[in-house]
Structure 1
Amino acid sequence: MSLDPHSSDASQAGPVFFDRQELGLVLRVYGRMVAAGEWRDYAMIGHKEVAEFAVFRRSGDAPLYRIEKRPALRLKQGQWAVIGEGGHVLKRGRDLAQVLRVFDSRKFTVVE
Structure 2
Amino acid sequence: MGSGLGDGAGATVVPFPQGGAVVQQVGFERVELMRILDLYGRMVAAGQWRDYAMDFGRDIASFCAFKRTAERPSARIEKRPALRQKQGMWTLYGEAGQVLKRGHELASVLSPLERRLLKVVAD
Question: Paired residue for 2:19?
Answer: 3
Q: Are 2:105 and 1:105 aligned? A: no
Selected match of 1:68 from 56, 71, 78: 78
Question: Paired residue for 1:23?
Answer: 33
Q: Is the 8 A contact 1:102 1:108 kept in 2?
A: no
Where do 5+ consecutive residues of structure 1 fail to align? none
RMSD: 1.9
TM, length-normalised to structure 1: 0.84
Question: Paired residue for 1:92?
Answer: 102
Letter of the structure 2 residue corresponding to residue 98 of structure 1: S
Where do 5+ consecutive residues of structure 2 fail to align? 1-16
Distance 1:55 1:106 in 2: 14
Q: Is the 8 A contact 1:49 1:71 kept in 2?
A: yes
TM, length-normalised to structure 2: 0.77
Q: Deviations over 1:30-84 (max 9, x none)?
A: 1111010000000001011110000000111111110000000010000001101
Q: Are 2:42 and 1:32 aligned? A: yes
